[in-house]
Structure 1
Amino acid sequence: MLYALHELQRSLLSPMVTAASVLKEVTHSPLNPLRDLPFVRAVGANSELFTRLMQRYHKPNWDIETVDVDGKPVAVKTEITIDKPFCKLIHFRKETKVQGPKLLIVAPLSGHFATLLRDTVRTTLADHDVWVTDWVDAKMVPLSDGEFRLEDYVDYIKEFICSLAPRLNVMSVCQPTVPVLAAVSLLASERNPCIPDSMIMMGGPIDARRSPTAVNQFADEHSHQWFTNQMVMRVPQNYPGFSRLVYPGFMQHASFMAMNPDRHLNAHWEFYKHLMQGDQDSAEAHRQFYDEYNAVLDMPAEYYLDTVRIVFQDFLLPRGEWNIREQRVDPGAITKTALFTIEGELDDISGNGQTEAAQSLCSGIPKTRRKHLLAKGVGHYGIFSGRKFRTIIYPQISQFVQKQMRSKKQLA
């Protein structure tokens, strides 16, 4: 019912959003001789702020058409290599003979689209041959395609790894550190030759009992039934996924904003001031960030509820009690895959130690092939995007991958 009311509200606001958008374009137009007058700027600023607060945000484009390789621009083509109901495996193919080590980036299925990792992809592309998991908005998936649970996520990752093997490196960002570790553990237990050369795990809740954050406390304070009753809704009839049970994107977005309300309020106030001052560079930076941040997708309800229970309430992975299709998930079985865990000192989503927990769980990996980094002065998003990611974190990732490649060649 709430989902339907949300859609009704959006429909009723649509004419006002359109009118405000037109007014914004008129006041900002370089053909408008009055655009620099204080009153006109105020009208334009108010119109744009209203538009941005009330409009729908659709999935952003990747916008990665070239990448600098050895100081020279190289064209990049985006190709779908595997197309599954809930995920598309995307290859960013460089128009060059030397592609670099293969890297599968597993994007989170936790509210935002995979394009949130645009900076991650663009940065790693310079030295690697990159694939990314591009998760599909659940409201766009017909009921006929069935359910999607956390164990299905693990199956997807296993399939993707095996399709790209051998000599593959896997990077997981935030939420997927758990299913990626499970997938690699199962492959190792099966003695599957698809096992990747390395795992890079960044800011994820491997053991959410360590340094609990507001996210962890929220999961601990509510029963699993509460999440089922309060957070799960059916998709309205105006979408292909009509009647599918989901955790709606608009609910997730409200949760994101509620975690740091002062920060977001101040950001919008600063944006308004930038518009009034004619500071278009600062205003554009705000637009780019919130165009991505405000674009959210629906998650399959069964996957969401599995994640709440298995990862944040029962802690089955670190307790050694997680079974997938009657097979125990045993990270200790991993012996041939190197491990690099990365955390941000100021991460308020995955607390310090939560990702590092993989180091002790993966006891079969020699210490010489394990590494941990606590990035000083870095928050959650800074682990995988921004200046510190590009200048401090990524160089260590690249060096780690290269080191594993040299080790493999020596063993061969």
Structure 2
Amino acid sequence: MDLAYVWYETMRAMLAPARLMADMTRHGLQNPANPLAYSQYLRPLTAACEMFERVTRRYGKPAFGFDNTIVDGVAVPVSERVVWSRPFCNVIAFDRGLVHGPAEPDPKLLIVAPMSGHYATLLRGTVEAMLPNHRVFITDWADARMVPLLDGHFDLDTYIDYLRDIFRDLGPDLHIMAVCQPAVPVLAAVALMEAQESQYVPVSMTLMGGPIDTHRSPTAVNCLAQERGMGWFEQNCITLVPAIYPGVFRRVYPGYLQLSGFMAMNLDRHVTAHNDMFHHLVTGDGESAEKHRDFYDEYLAVMDLTAEFYLQTVQTVFVDRSLPKGEMMHAGTRVDLGAIRRCAILAVEGENDDISGVGQTKAALDLTPNLPAERKAYHLQEEVGHYGVFNGSRYRSVIAPRIARFIREMQGTPTASRYLREVG
């Protein structure tokens, strides 16, 4: 398996001339100066060239691309800046160009993006919905193939250490939104900070579609980990970064494998989407074709994970279920969820989630017996799958307002207010 990445890059290089020729043909056929561009009989050829170019293209890291947001009915500019940086992660702040700030500053919200193969820009819609009423930050995880070996290793313990440092540097009046994979390390990081009685414990955390307890409503992803065992994952999923990247010789779980797994889970849907795209191109339905491009430009842009992080996560979260069993360890210290007494929790799940089944995220509420009931909340969104928990129309119209209301309520509760006065 060590040479799998090399063979993958070799095949891509071999396809490059054909991809270039297809792209040149497409542009030539679409050139307004070419009389053939107006022939309906050549549209299938033009469409085929674009489809071939797209499926053989390497998709780079997308941009968030926010120009502005609407605050109190007024469009204000949005800019990005890095406020925290380590080799494997930057934290980006989205600064809103408010002429006059609100009487009370909007809540600070850190969105912890999943480190599961896609870039943080997959949460563009998640960020966009929260920008009008929050000071938003997001974790921008690095592509492991771009991080030199000299910058050290990165495992689940390192991930938790990063989170604690970020919470400290952005806190104490900080709210957390963990989307999918980070639900476990975020919960663990908060528990460790609570056990140490840290003054930088976040005010609240919203856990969205996260695998807190994969024993509840197990999905195909959960069952695969149980059936295969760690030996299979290490033998079949780990390879070395080729010499063309800064992270050469780093052991990684490559993004192209993760993407293959994602697409295999819903293969019929993706085949249908590409067939529809071909039809849109042939019939000249530019708006529908552009929606397809926008989605797959993001979906097909993937990053590598370090082998140690991937394997430790599979072992801890999916095979051993260490956190719900009370057996999870971090740097020799047991993660005790019973230590959580201050940080409020909102668990959000999707009725049709096929990645984290219903009940897996809600488990966080049951596993924190010492957190007062008034600082716990649960929302089950009907008729949405995993992606719909943090993106799409129901997220914008129902889930995001629910999260915003929860944040405001927890910011203003006596427990939170007293806590903020103590650390302020």
The aligned residue for residue 218 of structure 2 is 212
1:149, distance to aligned residue in structure 2 (A): 0.6
Deviations 1:118-147 (A, max 9, x none): 001111111100110000000000001111
Distance 1:59 1:323 in 2: 33
Distance 1:13 1:126 in 2: 45
1:365 equivalenced with 2:371 (yes/no):
yes
Distance 2:32 2:120 in 1: 35
The aligned residue for residue 323 of structure 2 is 317
- Contiguous gaps of at least 5 residues in structure 1: none
Question: Which residues in structure 2 correspond to 1:198-209 (within 5 Å)?
Answer: 198-209=204-215
The aligned residue for residue 333 of structure 1 is 339
Distance 2:27 2:341 in 1: 59
After TM superposition, the score normalised by the length of structure 1 is 0.98
After TM superposition, the score normalised by the length of structure 2 is 0.95
Distance 1:61 1:402 in 2: 30
Distance 2:245 2:48 in 1: 32
The aligned residue for residue 240 of structure 1 is 246
1:158 equivalenced with 2:164 (yes/no):
yes
* SS of residue matched to 1:335: coil
1:82, distance to aligned residue in structure 2 (A): 1.2
1:300 equivalenced with 2:302 (yes/no):
no
The aligned residue for residue 50 of structure 1 is 52
Q: State the AA in 2 paired with 1:191.
A: E
The aligned residue for residue 385 of structure 1 is 391
Q: State the AA in 1 paired with 2:132.
A: A
Q: State the AA in 2 paired with 1:310.
A: T
Q: State the AA in 1 paired with 2:334.
A: R
Distance 1:360 1:3 in 2: 42
Distance 2:253 2:362 in 1: 29
My pick for the range that moved more, 35-44 or 167-176, is: 35-44
Distance 1:29 1:206 in 2: 53
1:397, distance to aligned residue in structure 2 (A): 0.5
Distance 1:17 1:132 in 2: 35
Q: State the AA in 2 paired with 1:230.
A: N
1:350, distance to aligned residue in structure 2 (A): 0.5
Question: Which residues in structure 2 correspond to 1:260-299 (within 5 Å)?
Answer: 260-299=266-305
The aligned residue for residue 133 of structure 2 is 127
Distance 1:25 1:55 in 2: 16
The aligned residue for residue 171 of structure 1 is 177
1:77 equivalenced with 2:79 (yes/no):
yes
Distance 1:349 1:365 in 2: 27
1:31, distance to aligned residue in structure 2 (A): 4.7
* SS of residue matched to 1:358: helix
- Contiguous gaps of at least 5 residues in structure 2: none
Distance 2:377 2:327 in 1: 25
Distance 1:210 1:128 in 2: 33
Distance 1:73 1:2 in 2: 49
1:32, distance to aligned residue in structure 2 (A): 4.3
1:279, distance to aligned residue in structure 2 (A): 0.5
Query: How many residues matched?
Result: 412
* SS of residue matched to 1:35: helix
Distance 2:189 2:333 in 1: 11
The aligned residue for residue 21 of structure 1 is 23
Deviations 1:127-177 (A, max 9, x none): 100110000000000001111010000000000000011110000000000
Q: State the AA in 1 paired with 2:75.
A: P
Q: State the AA in 2 paired with 1:334.
A: I
Distance 1:283 1:187 in 2: 48
1:118 equivalenced with 2:124 (yes/no):
yes
1:25, distance to aligned residue in structure 2 (A): 2.3
Q: State the AA in 1 paired with 2:325.
A: R
Change (3 A) 1:7 1:395: same
Q: State the AA in 2 paired with 1:203.
A: G
Question: Which residues in structure 2 correspond to 1:400-411 (within 5 Å)?
Answer: 400-408=406-414, 411=418
